Amino acid sequence: MHSSLLRLYYRFSVLISVFLFMLLSGTLDAAPSAQAGQTTVPLHVTTGKDQGYTIKVLARRDGGTLLIDLESMARALRLSFHQEEGALVLEEALVVPGSSCTVMINNNFAKVVSKDPEHPKRIIQLQSAPSSLQSRIYLPVNQACRLFTVWLDREVGYNYSSGMINAWFGGKHFGESVGMIGLVKGDEPPPVPPLSTPAADGSTVISGIEIEKRANGAIISFTASGHPTESSLLKPDAEGYVYFTLEKASCDVNTLSKIFSGGVVKAITPKQFTEGSLQFTVALDNKSYVINSVEFHRDKKKNRYVLYVRSKADVQEIRKKEKELQIAQVLSRDVEKWKLNTIVLDAGHGGKDPGAIGFTGIREKDVALNVVHDLGTFIAQKWPEVNVIYTRKDDRFIPLHERGKIANQGGGKLFISVHCNSSPNRTARGSEVYILGTHKNKAALDVAMIENSVIRQEDDFQEQYKGFSEEHLIMSSMAQNAFAKQSTSLAQYIVKPVDHQSVNNARGVRQAGFMVLWTPSMPSILVEVGYLSNPAEEKMLRDRQVQTKIAYGIFKGVLAFRKNYETTSMAALAE
């Protein structure tokens, strides 16, 4: 027993010696100490409704602080950058005229310069100075988010719960407080107890800031506790910044950092200096307002420090900006509304419902699923910005009423249902495209009856379709009238390409009461790509290449429809 332990100890010692030798000789690469705290943080950028991307940015942990690599974050936000001596210059690469933001190592101020010479330079004050490590420049995550928010006028926030940075680039939007910029509302970091009581040495503690907006300016009140202290005020500079300094004072910097929407005061940012002084930078809107004066008063009775900002509002300019903003918002909403950015593809039948079955055993549900998959692939390749929703992606049974719900809940702008036809007449052939409506002839009624018969395979069909009748069909058709023109147009665009690709004779656009078309609140069509009851067409429809050609034919029709649809919609908005 003792000798066995000695042998194990000897082997372990040899292994340790070999490892140390390899490490010291360079055979093994030891991770540099600077990389010990390196990590990544996911950043999700929202560029529009249901549009965006997620990418990881480099970060590192320094004790309990999460530091973000500014170059990595800029790259994720699609900004360009380059380093200069002791500084990082960030630039808006995809915006005209755009601007640049210069961040300097160990400097609490970032400089923003617009490429439009009419716009003055701006200064962004940071609570923490950027630090440098191995040629990379870092900022604490909340300050990095605040920097990009204030510079780009976009909301960028860090969610402490999920550990993710979110950037909203769909439109300009500020939060109510600079302290909240960099944080998702409702997900703040662990709270820091506010300094609401006098410090132990009796020095001044600023515990709150209140702003009272007036027609001719604003009154800013700093609530204090403790002994009074010396204070000074630097009047507004050319960029509208006022600096209010208290000699021996402190505050909770995160709590008292604020940004305001509307009014002459835009933001208030405190900074605590190591020697004990406290400075508040007050940003005034000197573009919309003419600043007449800024005065200071010490309210001894209420223990407050008060700034009086008097201005003469440029009412005409404000109204002009408000009108421009309203027009831009309306146009943005309308453009998003009319964009054909979500297409719902419905493969008929599935699971326990095979649909029509050909003479050789080919099943409608399989043909429909293959065509829908190919159609979705063509859409994804041509329009990566378009979201494709499938009512089913595999061989499963989906009730008819659920298919419409899937389309509506997914925000669909177009609904295409794919099927194969069948008839007692073995010579019947050709593709058909249907829109919702009352049956114009017996042939259309027969096709609808076959496709609608699937409801009997649903477990609760009697309850789900209770009251569905010819009258209900008429009501549903009336509701679909809002999309009748677009549905008919789409059907007409699809008929010819489908016929051409499948070398069938097109039987035209028809109208019938297909239940799957009753519930989608969008332009909707049902495509019968051919007859499985016709031996010649069944032979073609089971050919995988023919299925792909049919899908491409439908895609060509959607391509032509989308071009006409969005052109017409944009022309209508421009009127």
Look at residues 314, 329, 349 and tell me which one is the last residue of a structural domain.
Answer: 314
Residue 566 domain-assigned (yes or no): yes
Q: Residue 194: its pLDDT value, please?
A: 42
Residue 371 domain-assigned (yes or no): yes
pLDDT tens digit sequence for 524-537: 888 889 999 999 99
pLDDT tens digit sequence for 48-62: 766 788 899 999 988
How far, in Å, CA of 260 to CA of 267, rounded? 6
Distances (CA, A) of 560 to 339, 416, 462, 554: 15, 15, 40, 10
Q: Residue 571: its pLDDT value, please?
A: 52
Q: Residue 165: its pLDDT value, please?
A: 92
Q: Residue 327: its pLDDT value, please?
A: 57
**In one letter, which amino acid is 362?**
I
How far, in Å, CA of 447 to CA of 356, rounded? 11
pLDDT score of 444 more than 50: no
Q: Are residues 270 and 385 in the same domain?
A: no
Residue 351 domain-assigned (yes or no): yes
Residue 333 domain-assigned (yes or no): no
Q: Are residues 144 and 230 in the same domain?
A: no
Q: What percent of the chain has pLDDT over 90?
A: 25
Residue 325 domain-assigned (yes or no): no
Tell me the average pLDDT across 552-575: 75
C-beta atoms surrounding 447 within 10 Å: 22
pLDDT tens digit sequence for 212-249: 888 788 999 999 988 888 889 998 888 899 999 998 89
Domain hosting 145: range is 35-183
Give all strands of the β-sheet with 278-284 in edge-to-edge order.
Answer: 231-234, 241-246, 278-284, 265-272, 258-259
Q: Are residues 92 and 125 in the same domain?
A: yes
Count Cα neighbours of 108 within 13 Å in the Cβ-side half-sphere. Answer: 11
Listed range (28-37, 229-238, 512-521) with the worst mean pLDDT: 28-37
pLDDT tens digit sequence for 87-116: 999 998 766 778 899 999 988 888 888 887
Assign residue 420 the CATH number of its domain.
3.40.630.40
Higher pLDDT, 312 or 381: 381
| Beta strand 524-531 pairing with 414-421 | parallel
Higher pLDDT, 412 or 316: 412
Tell me if residue 196 falls in helix, strand or coil.
coil
Q: Are residues 43 and 146 in the same domain?
A: yes
How far, in Å, CA of 520 to CA of 526, rounded? 12
Q: Are residues 477 and 433 in the same domain?
A: yes
DSSP per-residue letters across 307-338:
EEEEEEE-HHHHHHHHHHHHHHHHHHHHHHHH
Q: Are residues 244 and 386 in the same domain?
A: no
pLDDT score of 78 more than 90: no
pLDDT score of 37 more than 90: no
Tell me the average pLDDT across 284-297: 88
How far, in Å, CA of 518 to CA of 466, rounded? 14
Q: Are residues 217 and 83 in the same domain?
A: no
pLDDT tens digit sequence for 386-404: 999 999 999 998 887 788 7
Most confident residue range from 4-8, 353-357, 511-515, 571-575: 353-357
Look at residues 296, 314, 332 and tell me which one is the last residue of a structural domain.
Answer: 314
Label residue 338 by pLDDT band (50, 70, 90): low
Q: Residue 439: its pLDDT value, please?
A: 44
**In one letter, which amino acid is 247?**
E
Going by C-alpha positions, the residue among 510, 555, 548, 546 that lies closest to residue 528 is 510
Distances (CA, A) of 150 to 43, 164, 259, 283, 472: 18, 19, 10, 12, 55
Assign residue 285 the CATH number of its domain.
2.60.40.3500
Q: Are residues 87 and 126 in the same domain?
A: yes
Higher pLDDT, 18 or 101: 101
Residue 326 domain-assigned (yes or no): no
Q: Residue 323: its pLDDT value, please?
A: 66
Q: What percent of the chain has pLDDT over 70?
A: 67
Listed range (137-141, 171-175, 539-543, 551-555) with the worst mean pLDDT: 171-175
Q: Are residues 39 and 73 in the same domain?
A: yes
Q: Are residues 427 and 560 in the same domain?
A: yes
- Mean pLDDT (the chain) is 75
Assign residue 148 the CATH number of its domain.
3.30.457.10
Listed range (147-161, 188-202, 531-545, 551-565) with the worst mean pLDDT: 188-202
pLDDT score of 197 more than 60: no
pLDDT score of 357 more than 50: yes
Q: What is the 3-state secondary structure (H, E, C) of 445-503?
A: HHHHHHHHHHHHHCCCHHHHCCCCCHHHHHHHHHHHHHHHHHHHHHHHHHHHHHHHHHC
Q: Are residues 408 and 540 in the same domain?
A: yes
Higher pLDDT, 186 or 155: 155
Residue 217 domain-assigned (yes or no): yes
Residue 525 domain-assigned (yes or no): yes
Please state the domain count of the chain: 3
pLDDT tens digit sequence for 117-135: 777 777 887 778 899 888 8
Q: Are residues 449 and 493 in the same domain?
A: yes
